[in-house]
Amino acid sequence: MSTRTAIVTGSSSGLGYGCAAALAERGDNVVVASRTESSISRAASELDGLGAGVVTPVAADVSDPNAAARLVATAVDAHDRLDVLVANTGGPPFGPALDLDDDALRGAFDSVVLPPLRLIREALPVMREQGHGRIVIVGSSSVRKPIPNLALSNVMRPALVGYIKSLATEIAAEGVTVNLAAPGRVDTARVQAGDAATAERKGISVDEVRAASAATIPAGRYGRIEEFGALVAFLTSEAASYVTGQTILADGGMVPTLP
């Protein structure tokens, strides 16, 4: 197979950046995207040179209904193929279940659920024509165990699990896999914001919150974006050609539930 071409959204920082770095290091051509031109250009400059592939920055807000088609067209126009889609979106606002009104639910659906589905709809025709493709949605450990004060994630993320389970059975025979990679407490700005919110709610320091959180993780620490990127690199590799419709956690053993 020639050099692979990948799209990674939400890749200017955090989990998306970790995924883009892992794919770039593998030698893929990577189209990286996030909302602002300055942030994604900076990330692309950092990623460029990690491997033999080309890193192409695109300023795109995936909540825009037209963004998915533009990203797929960018990849195909530049490289004549699309092999990998990593659909990463920002998380919904923090808050308890009692605060979920109609506007909050619609907003979370539009920002968490719809963007990955639009991206997949645009990418699939290219992948099916090639007879090969790897799709990974970046989810959350909330698909297995609800996270306190993050009710919108607890509601919306499991919908994506239902989607990949349904889709995987429909496209597996065409050489296209679709999986969901679910991070636990990976040390990103999003997790740090959650720790800060918990500290404020409980009236304790952020350091106390982080220490208490780390104590609940069998690995004894928060994860690194590089570790999450390595999982996504595997799921988008040839070695993972028989893995589809699965939700795989990178959580240091934090979530004790059965699948």
Do both 75 and 54 map to the same domain? yes
Summarised one tens digit per residue, pLDDT across range 174-185 is 999 999 999 999
- Show the domain range for 63: 5-185+228-247
Does the pLDDT at position 1 exceed 80? Answer: no
- Cα–Cα distances (Å) from 50 to 1, 7, 20, 29, in that order, read 20, 16, 10, 11
Mean pLDDT of the chain: 96
Identify each DSSP E strand in 1-132 by its residue range.
5-9, 29-34, 55-59, 84-87
Do both 56 and 128 map to the same domain? yes
pLDDT value of position 197: 87
Do both 197 and 92 map to the same domain? no
% of the chain beyond a pLDDT of 70: 100
Beta bridge partner(s), residue 163: none
Residue 125's CB is within 10 A of a number of other CB atoms, namely: 11
The domain spanning residue 146 has which CATH number?
A: 3.40.50.720
pLDDT value of position 113: 97
Side-by-side strand order, sheet with 29-34: 55-59, 29-34, 5-9, 84-87, 133-138, 176-183, 247-250
Mean pLDDT confidence for 70-94: 96
Q: Where does the pLDDT of residue 84 fall: very low under 50, low under 70, confident under 90, or very high at 90 and above?
A: very high
Does the pLDDT at position 77 exceed 60? Answer: yes
Mean pLDDT confidence for 72-82: 97
Nearest to 154 by CA among 162, 143, 138, 165: 143
Q: Where does the pLDDT of residue 194 fall: very low under 50, low under 70, confident under 90, or very high at 90 and above?
A: confident
Beta bridge partner(s), residue 185: none
Summarised one tens digit per residue, pLDDT across range 108-151 is 999 999 999 999 999 999 999 999 999 999 999 999 999 988 99
For the chain, the domain total comes to 2
For residue 259, being part of any structural domain is answered with no
